[in-house]
Every structure is written in structure tokens, then in C-alpha cells.
Amino acid sequence: MAGLSPQITNLIIILGMMQVSKRIPFDDPTVLMGVRGVYIASNVLIALVYLFIQTQVNKKKDMTTLKYVEPAPTGSTEEGKLVTTTVHAYDLQQLRTAFRGQLMGVAMMGFMHLYMKYTNPLLIQSIIPIKSALESNLVKIYIYGQPAVGDLKRPFKQPQGFMSAMQGGQVQSDKKAVEAAEKTGRGGAKEE
């Protein structure tokens, strides 16, 4: 699956795990507790990965200035906003966003499992979030040690797909876009 996009591999995993979950006796309390344990362990592992990345970001504390233009919201007539920050602050913001997304997934899964009594998604949600976390740009930079060039150059490009089209486009970091935003005075306040 090395040459496939993450969305395709996620779909393959979901379809495979749906077939596996049909054969698992969730009405057996021992099996159900085991699946719950796997789900909890996967989320603890993700939290540990994010905490390790946070310590690496804080240890490196790269104060290189980073300027980019955030796209305007979809349907808005205004232009994008200039953001001036540091690599350290940008990485911490990306990490907060990833952790917040993970907590939202846990909350949704908790609601679906505890309130609505769905058990099958526990298996899928034990695998897909770990896979997504280990494919993230921050993991590639701080754990795998890949250089921050190409697709890993900050600001990170949004993955192509339906949701990226709804969000209004890509972040622009080219010199021309940044200079145009500086001239028109759109934003520019340094984020801390």
C-alpha cells in the first residue's frame, strides 16, 4: 500500500475492518472489554506521540520567522489574511489542532459507543487515528527525522479533497502573495 494515497488506504482499512467486526462476538463481555482496551490504548499511544513531539518542538525552539497568507473563508468577499509567526509557534499550533481533533474523535466515539451502544466502530477507530497520526507532517519531521522541504515545508499544504475545497483553498507562502498582503495591510499581526 506504499504507492496509494492515505484516503485510499483508509477506505481499504475501513472496508476490511467492517468485515472483521461482523465476525467478532461483541455480546461477549470479555471480547467487548478487550476491544475497548485496544481503543483506549491506541488513543493513549497517540497522546504520547503528540506529547513527545511537543517536547521536541520546545527543545528545538526554532524562532525562524514564518509568513504566509491564510485563505479567506469560502463565500467571503474579503481577501486572505497575512500571518506572521515563528516555526516554533506554528508547529505548536499545528500540534494543538491535531490534539483537538483527536479529542473530538474520542468524544464522538464515546457518544456513539456509550450512549448509542455502537460497538463496531471501536475497531476502526483503533486503527485509523494511529495511521493518520503517524502520517502527519509533524511526525515525519520530529520523529522520522525528515527534512522540512517539499511537502514538509511550512506552512503545510492542506491535503486535496472535498473538505479542502469547502475551506476556501490553500495557504499561500510564496513571496508575491506575502508582499501583496503586506502592501494592502491585510493582517500581519504576529501570533504568539
Domain boundaries, the chain: 37-157
- CA 185 to mean position of chain CA atoms: 30
Report, as an integer, the average pLDDT of 78-91.
Answer: 86
Name the pTM for this structure. 0.81
**Cα–Cα dist 40/55, whole Å:** 23
* pLDDT of 185 above 60: yes
Phi/psi at 5 (5° precision) = -75, 155
- pLDDT single digits (tens) 150-175: 888 888 887 665 555 555 566 766 66
- pLDDT single digits (tens) 66-81: 888 887 777 667 777 8
For 29-35, which contacts have Cβ atoms below 8 Å and span 24 or more sequence positions? 32/119, 35/119, 35/122, 35/123, 35/126
Phi/psi at 90 (5° precision) = -65, -45
Number of residues that this document lists for the chain:
192
Cis-peptide into 155, omega within 30 deg? yes
Nearest to 57 by CA among 24, 99, 15, 11: 99
Question: Residue 145 has which C-alpha cell?
Answer: 527525522
> How much is the CA Rg of the chain, to the nearest whole Å?
20
How many other C-beta atoms can be found within 10 angstroms of the C-beta atom of residue 109? 19
Helix (H, G, I), strand (E, B) or coil at 120: coil
The predicted structure's pLDDT at residue 79: 75
How many other C-beta atoms can be found within 10 angstroms of the C-beta atom of residue 151? 11
Question: Residue 14 has which C-alpha cell?
Answer: 475501513
- pLDDT single digits (tens) 37-47: 999 999 999 99
The burial class, CB within 10 Å (0-12 / 13-18 / 19+), for 150 is: exposed
